[in-house]
Structure 1
Amino acid sequence: MSPLTMIQTGLSIFASKRRLAALLLALSVLQWAGGGANADEATPLRPIDTTSPRATLHGFVKAMSEGYANGIGVLQSYQDSPRLYFSQEELAVMRDSFNMVDDAERTLDLSELPQATVRETSRGLAIQLKEILDRMSIPPSELIPDAQTMSSAEFKRWTLPDSEIRIARVEKGPRAGEYLFSPETVRRIPEFYQKIKDMPYKPGASAGWYDFASYSPSGVALVLRRVVPTRWVLEMAEGSRPVFLDQPLWRWFGILLVLSAGLAVVSLCFRLSSRWARKKTTTAGRWAHLLQPLSLVIVMPVVTSIFAEVLRVSGVVYQIMSLSLWGLFFLALTWAVWVAGGAVAESIIAHERLRTGSIDSQLIRIALRLVTIVLAIAILVTGADRLGLPAYSVLAGLGIGGLAVALAAQETLANLLGSLIIMFEKPFVIGHWVKVNNIEGNVEDVGFRSTRIRTFYDSVVTIPSSKIVGSTVDNLGLRKFRRVKTVLNLTYDTSAEKMESFVEGVKRIIATHPETRKDKIEVVFNNFGPSSLDILVYFFLKVPDWSAELNQQQGIFIDILRLADAIGVRFAFPTQTLHIVTDETH
C-alpha cells in the first residue's frame, strides 16, 4: 500500500473529530520519545537527496508523508485497544516516523533564522510547508528540473508554478551546492500558510496536522507520558481550547506558571546572595554576589526549553518570548563574567596578602577587568549572532559607541591612561612621601582616575592622574639618606681655642653616631654673623621615615648641647649693642 493510500485509509478510519485529535496528539508526543533507527535499517544515515529541485521537493514530500502515514497504523492499534500506554514496539515505529520529519526539515535553508529559535521554528515551518503543498497542484516530475537540467541552467533556482515557493542552490557554507527551499521562502512560509489554509486539501493530504501540532498539549503529554496517559491529557485540555494571540488558554496558564516559578527561583537567589554578602568578608561577599547573575544564566535556558519543548509555544509569541529570554541569558552571562572577574582579582589580592589600595592590587584588578571586558564583548557578539543580529553590525555598533564614549570622555580616558602609566612605572607607591607641584604629603591611594595624597596638615588632596604624569614628582620617600642642615650661633666672646674644640667635638658626635652617613659630614666655622659666630652643621641620616629622622636628629642635638656646656661656650641670640657718643663740651 502506498503512503498516500495509507493516509486516506487512516483518515477515513478516524473520521470522528475526537478520535482523530487523540491520535494526532499521540503522534505529536511520540516525536520526542527518543531516537530510533531509520525505516531502512540498511541505510539509517542516508539523507534526503538535495542535488536538484526535483530531488529536494520529492524528498521533502515523501519524508513528511511517510513520517505522518507510518504512525497511522500504530495510532489505530492504540486507540482501539484498552491499553493506557503505548507499547515499546509502537514507540519504536513512531520514533522512526519522526526521524523522517527531522530529515525533511533539513531541506529548508534555515541559515537566516535566529539560531536561538531554529529548532522549534523549523519544526513548525516544515509542517506548515507540507500543509501548503497539500493544497497545491504539484507539477509532474518531468516538469521539475533535475540535476542535469540545472547544470546547464543560467539561474540555479526553480519556482513552484503559481507560487513564490522557490528552491535555490546554496552558494556558500557547509551545505554549498545543495538545492534547498530558499531563505526567502522559509521566511514567508507562515505568510503563505495564512493565505492558503482555508483552501481544500488535495487527495492524500495530512489533514489538520499543523493546527493540532500548534494547539494540542503534546509537549505536556511527553513530560507526563509515563504517569498520565495521552488520552487523559487530551480530555483535560478540551475545556481550554479557546485561542488568544494564537495560543490556547491552557498554554497561557502554563506560560504564567513557568514564568512565576522562574521568577520565584531568581528572586530567592537574589535574596540569598544579598544575605550571604552581608555576612561574609569582602572577597567572599564578591563571590556571593555571583549567585545573582548565575541564577538568571541557569533559569533562562530552562524556561525557554519548557516553552519550546513542553508547552510548544508557537508563532510570534514564541519568537518574542524566546528571543527576549535568550537576550536576557547573554546579558546575565556577561554580568556573571564581570562579577567573577572582580571576585578573582580580590581573591588573588587576599591570597598574596597585598594591601587593598596598593599599586600591585590595582594592577591585578585592572588586568582582570581587561580580561572580563574582552570576554564580555565575545559573549555579546556571540549572543547577537544567535539572536539573528549580524556580528559585523554588533562590532560596528560597539566601535561607534566606543568612539562616541571616547570623544565624550577624553579627560576621563586621559586620567585612566595616566593611572596605568603610574601603575606600570611606579614613580611612587602607597605610603611614599611625595611632592607634586606645591602639594606635599603621603600617597594614600592610586585609583583608575586619580591619586590621593594626605598632606601634613591631615587634609586629602585628589590629583587627576593625567596631571601627575605631566608634572615633576619629587619622591622624598625614596631617599636613602635624609639631609640635616642647621647653623649653630655662638657668642662673640667665644675664644678661638674653644671654637676649634667645639667644632671638632661636634664632628666627633656626628661621625660616631650609628645612623649617620660618614662620608658627607660638614661642620665648619663659616661666618661672622650680625650677632653671632656661625658654625654650619651639614650631615645625612640613614633612617626609614620622617619620624625616625626627627628622633635621631634630636639625639644628636642634645649631645651638642652637652658638649657646649662641657667646653663652656654659649649660644647667641639676636642682639644689638647701641653705643651713644656724647660731646662733653655741650
Structure 2
Amino acid sequence: MRWYRALAVGCCAAWMIVAMNAPTYAMAERALSPVNTSSPSETYQSLVAGIDRLEELYTDYKADKSFEKLREIRYQFGRLRALLDLADVPSANRVKVGNAAMTYLADILVRLPPVDVKDIPGGSPSDKALPARWTIPGTDIQIAKMEGGPQSDEYLITAQSIADLADYYHRVEDLPVLQPRRYNSLHKEHINATGPLIPNWLTSHVPDALKVVYLSTPLWKIIAIAIVAFAMLVVAVLWARLTRIQRRRGSEVRRLGWQFTLPTMLLLLYSIGDWFVISHLNPAGYFATGERLLSTAAFYVVVAWAVWIACYLIAETIINSPRIAGNSLDAHLLRLTARVAAIGSVGAILIYGANEIGIPALGLIAGIGVGGFALALAAQSTIENLFGGVALFVDRPFRIGDVISFGDQRGAVEMVGTRSSRIRAMDGTLVTVPNSDLARMKIVNYSRRNKCLFIHTLALQVDTPPARLRQLLERLRELLAAEPMVEKKDGWPRVRWTGVAVGHLEVEIRAYVQTDNYTKFLDVQESLLLSIFELIEALQIKLVQPRIVSTAGTERIQRQSSESHIDSYTEHTSVSAD
C-alpha cells in the first residue's frame, strides 16, 4: 500500500503546484498567445477579447502612466492589427490606420447586440465547409478569407470595411451602448491619450476651445506638433549656417564632412521629434496619416541626401591618402565611381521610400525603366561618352599630366570626366575631347617612355674619301660606346652609312639614352653632338648645306624637331601622376 500513498502524495503536490502557478500560466498565455484567424468565428472572438484587453490596459495606463504600460498597449494594438487586411495601406500608415480601425470597431460593436458564437461560421464543431466571407450582423463589416500573399487562408476584416469604419462610427457614435464596456468611446480615449512625459494635470488644463477635434486629432495636439516642427526647423537653420561658415575653409574632405553633418543633424532631429510626437502627443486619424506620409517622405529624402554626400566624402577621403595623387587618373576614377554609386544608392532609397508612402515600387521601377529607355535614346552620345570614360579608366593609356598624341594633336592630359577629357595643347589652349572619340583614337604616350631616342643624320659631301668615311664611322661607334648613358645591347647603338642621296652622303646615328628625364637626355645629347662635330672637324670632313638635304632627310629633321618640341613640353608641363 505504500506505493498508493506515495502516488497520492505526489498527485496532491502536483495539484498544489499547478494551482499555485495557474495565474502565472494564464498571464503568460494571455501575453504571448497569437490571435486566431482560422475561421470567421475565431477572428471575431479574437477581436472581442482583444478589445476588452485593450480597454483594461487603457484603464490601468490612465491611472498610472509609465513607459512599460505604454509598451504593453502598443503590443496589444500590434496583435489586433493582425486581424485586419492592411495590404492596401501604405507601410508608413499601417500602424496609425490599424490602431484607429480597432478603436472604431470597439465603439461600433459595443452598440450592437451580442452575437452568439455558434451562429458564426466556424463556431460549432459541426461547421466543416467555411464560407469565403461572413458579415457581422447589422453591419456591412465583413470578415473574408485571404487569397494569396503572406496571410493566405486567414480570415481578416476586409480592406473595404476598414476604409468605411470611420463613416460607420460617426453614424452610431450617439447611439446607446448595448454591451458592458469600460468606455463609451474608446476612439475618443485613444485620440486624447498622451505619453508619460505629458502629465494628466497638463492636459486637464487645456482650454475647451483647443480640445476641438480636427481631422480626428484635438487642436491642441496639432498646435503642439507644429511647435515641435518649428523648433526642429530653427535648430536645422542654425546648424546650416554653422556648416556654411565651416565649409569655406579647409580641404575638400573638410568641406564634405561639414556638409554631411547637415543631413545627419536633420535625421537626429527627425528621430527625436518623431519619438516625441508618436509616443507622447499621439496624433490620430486623418491628421496622423497625412503627417506620417509627409514626415516619411522627408525622412527618405534626407537619407538619400546623406548617402549622396557620403559617397563623395568616402571617395575624397581615399583620394586624400598619401598613396593617391589628388589629380591622378585613380582620383578621377574614384570620383566617377562615387558619382555612379551615389546615383544608384539615391535611386534605390527614393524608390523604397516611395513604396513606403504608397507609391508601388514595381510600378515606379517600370515607369523609370520606360523613361530611362527613352532618356537613353535621347542621351545616347552622353552614355557613349560615359562608357568611353570608363574604358579609359580601365585601359589606362595615360595618366593625368602625361603628354600624349591623339589624332593630329598633342598635349598634356589635365582631366578625365564622365563625358569628356581636357587636354592642354602645346600652344597653351585647352582642348576638350569626347571620351568616346578619345577611346577610339590611337594614343601615343610620350611621358611613359623608359628611355630617350638619340637620332641624327649627317649629310656629308659626296666627294668624301672612303677611307675618311670609314674612319668617321669607326670613331663615331667608339664615341657612343664610351658614353655610359647610352644603351649597349641588341646591336645598339647604330652608326651606319645609309646611302647616297642627291648631292650628299647620309650617315645615320641612332642610340638609346637610358633616362626618362628629358633634361638629363638633353645634357647627354649636347655632349654627344659636340663630340661628333669635333670629330668631323678633326677628320677634315665637310658637311653639305642644309638647303640641299633630300626630302627624306628633311622629313627626319622635322620629325626630330617635333619630338624634341614634345619632349621639351613634357618637361615643362609634367605633373606627379601617381
Q: Equivalent residue for 1:555?
A: 527
Query: CA 1:60–1:425 in 2, change beyond 3 Å: closer, same or farther?
Result: same
Question: Per-residue deviation at 1:317?
Answer: 2.2
Which residue identity does 1:238 align to in structure 2?
Answer: D
1:181 to 154, 157, 177: 157
Query: CA 1:145–1:466 in 2, change beyond 3 Å: closer, same or farther?
Result: same
In 2, are the aligned partners of 1:39 and 1:96 still within 8 Å (CA)?
Answer: no
Structure 2 unaligned spans of 5+: 1-23, 549-578
Tell me how far apart the structure 1 counterparts of residues 387 and 539 of structure 2 sit (CA, whole Å).
62
Q: Equivalent residue for 1:360?
A: 330
Question: Per-residue deviation at 1:354?
Answer: 0.9
Tell me how far apart the structure 2 counterparts of residues 546 and 127 of structure 1 sit (CA, whole Å).
86
Question: Per-residue deviation at 1:162?
Answer: 4.2
In 1, are the aligned partners of 2:106 and 2:186 still within 8 Å (CA)?
Answer: no
Tell me how far apart the structure 1 counterparts of residues 386 and 230 of structure 2 sit (CA, whole Å).
44
Question: Per-residue deviation at 1:571?
Answer: 3.2
Q: Equivalent residue for 1:289?
A: 259
In 1, are the aligned partners of 2:194 and 2:282 still within 8 Å (CA)?
Answer: yes
Question: Per-residue deviation at 1:411?
Answer: 0.8
Question: Per-residue deviation at 1:291?
Answer: 0.9
In 1, are the aligned partners of 2:114 and 2:179 still within 8 Å (CA)?
Answer: no
- Kindly indicate whether residue 109 of structure 2 is the aligned counterpart of residue 133 of structure 1: yes
Q: Give SS of 2:31's match.
A: coil
Q: CA offsets per residue over residues 291-317 of structure 1, 9 Å max, x none?
A: 122123222343333333322222222
Query: CA 1:102–1:488 in 2, change beyond 3 Å: closer, same or farther?
Result: closer
Q: CA offsets per residue over residues 18-56 of structure 1, 9 Å max, x none?
A: xxxxxxxxxxxxxxxxxxx99845643223433321232
Write the mapping of 1:62-211 to structure 2, written as runs, cut at 5 A: 62-68=49-55, 86=64, 103-146=79-122, 148=125, 151-153=128-130, 155-204=131-180, 206-211=183-188
Question: Per-residue deviation at 1:558?
Answer: 1.6
Which residue identity does 1:430 align to in structure 2?
Answer: I
Tell me how far apart the structure 1 counterparts of residues 37 and 546 of structure 2 sit (CA, whole Å).
112
In 1, are the aligned partners of 2:336 and 2:417 still within 8 Å (CA)?
Answer: no
Q: Equivalent residue for 2:537?
A: 565
Q: Give SS of 1:116's match.
A: helix
Q: Equivalent residue for 1:579?
A: none
Question: Per-residue deviation at 1:548?
Answer: 4.1
How high is the sequence identity, in percent, across the aligned residues? Answer: 25
Question: Per-residue deviation at 1:203?
Answer: 4.6
Q: CA offsets per residue over residues 178-215 of structure 1, 9 Å max, x none?
A: 3221222223322332344344443535323323432x
1:264 to 214, 217, 234: 234
- Kindly indicate whether residue 396 of structure 2 is the aligned counterpart of residue 422 of structure 1: no
Question: Per-residue deviation at 1:283?
Answer: 1.9
Write the mapping of 1:310-459 to structure 2, written as runs, cut at 5 A: 310-459=280-429
1:223 to 193, 197, 205: 197
Tell which deviates more after alignment, 233-242 or 256-265. Answer: 233-242
Tell me how far apart the structure 1 counterparts of residues 243 and 43 of structure 2 sit (CA, whole Å).
54
Tell which deviates more after alignment, 356-365 or 286-295. Answer: 356-365
Structure 1 unaligned spans of 5+: 1-36, 79-85, 577-586
Tell which deviates more after alignment, 415-424 or 532-541. Answer: 532-541
Q: Equivalent residue for 1:23?
A: none
Query: CA 1:562–1:93 in 2, change beyond 3 Å: closer, same or farther?
Result: closer
In 1, are the aligned partners of 2:415 and 2:423 still within 8 Å (CA)?
Answer: yes
1:472 to 442, 445, 461: 442
In 2, are the aligned partners of 1:531 and 1:574 still within 8 Å (CA)?
Answer: no
1:49 to 20, 23, 36: 36
Tell me how far apart the structure 1 counterparts of residues 373 and 71 of structure 2 sit (CA, whole Å).
55
Tell me how far apart the structure 2 counterparts of residues 565 and 150 of structure 1 sit (CA, whole Å).
125
In 2, are the aligned partners of 1:415 and 1:466 still within 8 Å (CA)?
Answer: yes
Question: Per-residue deviation at 1:103?
Answer: 4.2
Q: Equivalent residue for 2:554?
A: none
Tell me how far apart the structure 2 counterparts of residues 100 and 435 of structure 1 sit (CA, whole Å).
75
Question: Per-residue deviation at 1:565?
Answer: 3.1
Question: Per-residue deviation at 1:417?
Answer: 0.8
Tell me how far apart the structure 2 counterparts of residues 348 and 87 of structure 1 sit (CA, whole Å).
51
Tell me how far apart the structure 1 counterparts of residues 546 and 394 of structure 2 sit (CA, whole Å).
53
Aligned residues: 521
- Kindly indicate whether residue 526 of structure 2 is the aligned counterpart of residue 543 of structure 1: no
In 2, are the aligned partners of 1:160 and 1:166 still within 8 Å (CA)?
Answer: yes
Question: Per-residue deviation at 1:372?
Answer: 4.4
Which residue identity does 2:259 align to in structure 1?
Answer: H
Q: Give SS of 1:236's match.
A: coil
Tell me how far apart the structure 1 counterparts of residues 73 and 85 of structure 2 sit (CA, whole Å).
22
Query: CA 1:94–1:288 in 2, change beyond 3 Å: closer, same or farther?
Result: closer
Query: CA 1:542–1:419 in 2, change beyond 3 Å: closer, same or farther?
Result: same
Tell which deviates more after alignment, 506-515 or 457-466. Answer: 506-515
Write the mapping of 1:237-276 to structure 2, written as runs, cut at 5 A: 237-276=207-246
Query: CA 1:113–1:427 in 2, change beyond 3 Å: closer, same or farther?
Result: same
Tell which deviates more after alignment, 324-333 or 159-168. Answer: 159-168
Tell me how far apart the structure 1 counterparts of residues 478 and 127 of structure 2 sit (CA, whole Å).
110
In 2, are the aligned partners of 1:132 and 1:193 still within 8 Å (CA)?
Answer: yes
Tell which deviates more after alignment, 39-48 or 453-462. Answer: 39-48
Q: Equivalent residue for 2:482?
A: 512
Tell which deviates more after alignment, 178-187 or 517-526. Answer: 517-526
Question: Per-residue deviation at 1:348?
Answer: 1.8
Tell me how far apart the structure 1 counterparts of residues 314 and 61 of structure 2 sit (CA, whole Å).
58
Query: CA 1:54–1:246 in 2, change beyond 3 Å: closer, same or farther?
Result: closer
Query: CA 1:543–1:41 in 2, change beyond 3 Å: closer, same or farther?
Result: closer
In 2, are the aligned partners of 1:433 and 1:443 still within 8 Å (CA)?
Answer: yes
Question: Per-residue deviation at 1:111?
Answer: 3.2
Question: Per-residue deviation at 1:422?
Answer: 1.4
Q: Equivalent residue for 1:11?
A: none
Query: CA 1:316–1:531 in 2, change beyond 3 Å: closer, same or farther?
Result: same
Q: Equivalent residue for 2:557?
A: none
In 2, are the aligned partners of 1:241 and 1:250 still within 8 Å (CA)?
Answer: yes
Q: CA offsets per residue over residues 396-437 of structure 1, 9 Å max, x none?
A: 233223323322211111111111111112222223332211
Which residue identity does 1:219 align to in structure 2?
Answer: T
In 2, are the aligned partners of 1:301 and 1:325 still within 8 Å (CA)?
Answer: no
Question: Per-residue deviation at 1:163?
Answer: 2.8
In 1, are the aligned partners of 2:412 and 2:424 still within 8 Å (CA)?
Answer: yes
Give the TM-score normalised by structure 1: 0.79
Query: CA 1:539–1:369 in 2, change beyond 3 Å: closer, same or farther?
Result: same
Q: Equivalent residue for 1:5?
A: none
Give the TM-score normalised by structure 2: 0.80
Tell me how far apart the structure 1 counterparts of residues 340 and 470 of structure 2 sit (CA, whole Å).
68
Question: Per-residue deviation at 1:67?
Answer: 3.7
Question: Per-residue deviation at 1:491?
Answer: 4.5
Q: CA offsets per residue over residues 432-456 of structure 1, 9 Å max, x none?
A: 3322111112322222222222222
